[in-house]
């Protein structure tokens, strides 16, 4: 009888990478079924591997997601929102929770973390190529003619496919990951050149989506790259160089946005955003979002501890509140806020306190810290608590802490054995 050896972890990796790519690039249009097939493939491989291992890992990230699910289920009992809308939100959250749980089970080593992160880069690149393919040779001319300066109207590329903010965010995250590989992890010349091209192309497509959140993400990540890479480094000249690179990068970014015609859409949207603070003319979008936040806080204050129930914003506004912090407070109150966000400051503190040790194990800690902080910051203009893409990525940053600490303990144990 012939015995067939199957590397289950290898197939688990393939299924996860395929799902990440398909969920980003093929969640809409004629190829959306690829996303569904990839999802089932990953679920199936997760079940097989978990059964084969005969064990389940539960870290703080998984516990936080599960506890918040319990609060959402309780919130369904007293929410004023219709059952149909509430069930839609619950479906999104439950599928996200299952995916995040499977990712927690998958991650054993820093190699696994790096695999997921690299898959996210490829996913954003695949999305950028897909968006570009929809316009073909007209892409560049459309970017230059996307803005009517007199009326302030902006045509955001990709809006005929899905939410332009989604395209802009996903491709910007891909660009950031590619930049990490260019500056901090040059494995080979071929990969470095590939990452440079990927970063440039994803950045351009992100700007075509004209999402201001992508600029916030980029700036926050730049600052985190500089801060975290400098921790524990006493080389003054190197730190000064990093400061100059950071300042120079920000200046070049805003120069490109302000002067290049292909970035006119994001230029106009950034200008109207700053007008909110300097008393200039603003669009209805800024007024509406500011109003949603103010009204959302008022609803929360009336139900301080437990909020007004699952998907409460849908009842009061007909849409989500465009702010993850306010959305959590409205739905589940300060109790839900602590359950959902309690892990975030702890994770940021652990990354910061152990920066030198983590970076010694893997420079990937620099990128993970930047992703954690910048995505959290984007919550001011983005609702993501049930979104698979953002929550899986955040789950990876949380799970990496356990891997770092485990490998740190093993390294110290080997060192003690060597001394003995």
Interhelix angle 388-419/83-106, nearest 10 degrees: 20
- Is 222 part of any domain? yes
pLDDT interval class at 283 (50, 70, 90):
low
pTM confidence score = 0.88
- Residue that is last in its domain, among 19, 35, 55: 55
Same domain, 174 and 268: yes
pLDDT tens-digit readout, 238-255: 777 777 877 887 788 777
Same domain, 37 and 150: no
pLDDT interval class at 278 (50, 70, 90):
very low
- Is 218 part of any domain? yes
- Is 246 part of any domain? yes
**Arithmetic mean of pLDDT, 21-25:** 88
The tally of domains found in the chain comes to 2
Provide the domain limits for residue 13: 7-55
- Is 313 part of any domain? no
pLDDT of residue 150: 47
**What CA–CA distance (Å, rounded) separates 398 from 352?**
13
- Is 69 part of any domain? no
Residue 4 DSSP label: P
Same domain, 46 and 147: no
- Is 98 part of any domain? no
Same domain, 48 and 116: no
Percent of the chain with pLDDT over 70: 83
Same domain, 255 and 351: yes
pLDDT tens-digit readout, 291-332: 888 899 999 999 999 999 999 999 998 888 889 999 999 999
pLDDT interval class at 362 (50, 70, 90):
confident
- Is 296 part of any domain? no
- Is 79 part of any domain? no
Q: Where are the alpha helices (DSSP H) in 260-323?
A: 264-278, 284-302, 312-316
Taking CB atoms within 8 Å and a gap of at least 24, the contacts of 240-247 are 246/222
pLDDT of residue 411: 58
pLDDT of residue 107: 94
**What CA–CA distance (Å, rounded) separates 338 from 367?**
26
């Amino acid at each position: 009888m012939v015995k067939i050896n199957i590397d289950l972890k290898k197939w688990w990796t393939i299924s996860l990478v395929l799902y990440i790519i398909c969920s980003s690039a093929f969640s809409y249009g004629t190829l959306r079924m690829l996303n569904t097939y990839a999802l089932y493939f990953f679920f199936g491989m997760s079940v097989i591997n978990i059964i084969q291992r005969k064990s389940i890992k539960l870290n703080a990230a998984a516990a936080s997601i599960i506890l918040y699910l319990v609060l959402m289920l309780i919130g369904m009992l007293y929410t004023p929102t219709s059952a149909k809308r509430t069930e839609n939100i619950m479906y999104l959250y439950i599928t996200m929770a299952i995916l995040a749980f499977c990712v927690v089970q998958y991650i054993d080593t820093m190699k696994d973390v790096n695999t997921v992160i690299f898959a996210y880069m490829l996913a954003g690149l695949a999305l950028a190529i897909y968006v570009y393919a929809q316009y073909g040779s007209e892409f560049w001319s459309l970017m230059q003619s996307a803005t009517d300066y007199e009326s302030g109207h902006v045509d955001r590329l990709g809006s005929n496919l899905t939410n332009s903010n989604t395209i802009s965010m996903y491709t910007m995250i891909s660009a950031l990951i590619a930049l990490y590989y260019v500056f901090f992890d040059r494995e080979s010349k071929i990969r470095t050149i590939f990452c440079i091209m990927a970063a440039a192309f994803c950045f351009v497509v992100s700007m075509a989506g004209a999402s201001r959140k992508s600029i916030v993400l980029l700036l926050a990540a730049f600052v985190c790259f500089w801060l975290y890479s400098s921790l524990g480094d006493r080389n003054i000249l190197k730190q000064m160089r990093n400061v100059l690179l950071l300042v120079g990068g920000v200046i070049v970014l805003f120069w490109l946005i302000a002067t290049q015609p292909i970035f006119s859409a994001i230029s106009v949207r950034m200008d109207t955003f700053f007008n909110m603070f300097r008393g200039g003319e603003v669009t209805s979008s800024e007024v509406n979002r500011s109003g949603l936040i103010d009204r959302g806080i008022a609803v929360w204050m009336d139900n301080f501890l437990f909020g007004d129930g699952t998907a409460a914003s849908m009842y009061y506004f007909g849409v989500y509140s465009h702010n993850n912090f306010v959305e959590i407070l409205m739905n589940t109150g300060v109790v839900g806020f602590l359950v959902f966000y309690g892990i975030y400051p702890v994770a940021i503190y652990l990354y910061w306190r152990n920066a030198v040790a983590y970076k010694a194990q893997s420079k990937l800690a620099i990128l993970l810290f930047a992703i954690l902080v910048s995505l959290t910051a984007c919550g001011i203009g983005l609702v993501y608590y049930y979104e698979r893409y953002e929550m899986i990525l955040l789950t990876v940053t949380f799970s990496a802490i356990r891997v770092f600490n485990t490998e740190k303990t093993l390294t110290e144990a080997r060192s003690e054995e060597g001394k003995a």
